[in-house]
Structure 1
Amino acid sequence: MPRSHPTIVFTLFLVVFLDLVGFGMIIPVFPFYAERIGVSPSAVIFFIGLYSAGQLLGAPLWGSLSDRIGRRPVLLFTLVANTVSTWLLAYADTGLTLALSRVVAGLAAGNISTAYAYTTDITTDATRPKALGLLGAAFGMGFILGPALGGLLAGGTDENTASLTRVAHTAAILSLAALVLTALRLPESLPPEKRRQPHAPRLSPAVFLSRPALRGLLTATFVVISAVALMQSALALFSAERLGVGPRMLGWIYAFSGAVSVAVQAGVIGRLTARFGARRLAVTGVVLVAIGMAGIPPASTIPFLLISLAVFSIGSALFNPSISGLVAAAAQPHERGGVLGAYQAASSLGRVVGPVLGSGVASLAGLGAPFVLGAAICLGGLIFVARDTRQAKSETAAGS
Structure 2
Amino acid sequence: MFRSHNLEIITFALIGFVSSFNFATNSTLFSLFAQKLNFSPQQTGILLGTLTAGSMVGAPFLGKLVDRTGKRKLILTLGMLGQGMLILLTPLTGSFWLLTLMRFLLGISIVVQAPVLNELIVNLEDSQLRERSLTFLSIARSIGFSVGCMVSGMLMDFSVAWNFYFSALLALGITIPAVKFIKKADMIHPSSKEGVTGLKWLFEKRILAHYLSAMLRATAVMGVLFFLPLFWQNANQSATSSGTIIGLANFFQIIFFPIASLTCSRFPERSFSIALLGYSTSIVPFYVFPFLKGWAVLLPQITMSMSFVFFYIGAIFSIRELVPRPHQTEAMGWLETFINLGGTVGPVVFANLLALNGNDFPTTILSFSIVPILAMALFICARPTRKTN
TM over 0.5: yes
Cα distance change, pair 216–127 in 1 and its aligned pair in 2 (3 A) = farther
| 2:179 alignment partner, SS class | helix
**In the aligned structure 2, how far is the partner of 1:281 from the partner of 1:150?**
31
1:117 corresponding residue in structure 2: 119
Instruction: Please tell me whether residue 166 in structure 1 is matched to residue 159 in structure 2.
Output: no
Aligned length: 380
State the shift of 1:103 in Å: 0.9
1:337 corresponding residue in structure 2: 329
Instruction: Please tell me whether residue 260 in structure 1 is matched to residue 252 in structure 2.
Output: yes
Consecutive unaligned residues in structure 2, runs of 5 or more: none
1:304 to 296, 299, 308: 296
Cα distance change, pair 6–370 in 1 and its aligned pair in 2 (3 A) = farther
The residue type equivalent to 1:91 in the other structure is L
The residue type equivalent to 1:75 in the other structure is L
Summarize deviations over 1:175-228 as a string: whole Å, max 9, x none: 11222221111124252353733x975734xx3332222112112211211111
What is the TM-score when the length of structure 2 is the normalising length? 0.89
1:20 corresponding residue in structure 2: 20
How do 1:242-321 and structure 2 match up within 5 A? 243-265=235-257, 267-273=258-264, 274=266, 277-299=270-292, 301-321=293-313
State the shift of 1:145 in Å: 0.7
Q: 346-355 or 187-196, which moves further after superposition? A: 187-196
Cα distance change, pair 384–28 in 1 and its aligned pair in 2 (3 A) = closer
**In the aligned structure 1, how far is the partner of 2:362 from the partner of 2:184?**
47
The residue type equivalent to 2:139 in the other structure is A
Cα distance change, pair 89–217 in 1 and its aligned pair in 2 (3 A) = same
Instruction: Please tell me whether residue 209 in structure 1 is matched to residue 202 in structure 2.
Output: yes
2:381 corresponding residue in structure 1: 387
Cα distance change, pair 122–177 in 1 and its aligned pair in 2 (3 A) = farther
How do 1:184-263 and structure 2 match up within 5 A? 184-194=180-190, 196-197=192-193, 201=196, 203-204=198-199, 207-241=200-234, 243-263=235-255
Q: 63-72 or 132-141, which moves further after superposition? A: 132-141
| 1:381 alignment partner, SS class | helix
State the shift of 1:286 in Å: 1.2
State the shift of 1:253 in Å: 1.3
State the shift of 1:140 in Å: 1.4
Cα distance change, pair 78–352 in 1 and its aligned pair in 2 (3 A) = same
2:343 to 334, 351, 354: 351
Cα distance change, pair 195–171 in 1 and its aligned pair in 2 (3 A) = farther
**In the aligned structure 2, how far is the partner of 1:255 from the partner of 1:298?**
21
Summarize deviations over 1:51-76 as a string: whole Å, max 9, x none: 01111110111010011112222112
Contact 2:131 2:261 in 1 (8 A): yes
**In the aligned structure 2, how far is the partner of 1:293 from the partner of 1:131?**
33
Contact 1:234 1:370 in 2 (8 A): no
Cα distance change, pair 195–33 in 1 and its aligned pair in 2 (3 A) = farther
State the shift of 1:319 in Å: 1.1
What is the TM-score when the length of structure 1 is the normalising length? 0.87
The residue type equivalent to 1:150 in the other structure is S
1:89 corresponding residue in structure 2: 90
Summarize deviations over 1:8-33 as a string: whole Å, max 9, x none: 33321121102222332234542222
Q: Pairwise CA RMSD of aligned residues?
A: 2.6
Contact 2:85 2:168 in 1 (8 A): yes
Consecutive unaligned residues in structure 1, runs of 5 or more: 156-161, 395-400
2:363 corresponding residue in structure 1: 369
| 1:287 alignment partner, SS class | helix
**In the aligned structure 2, how far is the partner of 1:128 from the partner of 1:374?**
37
Instruction: Please tell me whether residue 177 in structure 1 is matched to residue 173 in structure 2.
Output: yes
Summarize deviations over 1:107-136 as a string: whole Å, max 9, x none: 212312222223234455665455434433
Cα distance change, pair 41–244 in 1 and its aligned pair in 2 (3 A) = farther
**In the aligned structure 1, how far is the partner of 2:366 from the partner of 2:133?**
33
Percent of residue pairs bearing the same amino acid type: 17
Summarize deviations over 1:364-400 as a string: whole Å, max 9, x none: 1222234323432112122232232336x99xxxxxx
The residue type equivalent to 1:54 in the other structure is G
Cα distance change, pair 345–26 in 1 and its aligned pair in 2 (3 A) = closer
2:60 corresponding residue in structure 1: 60
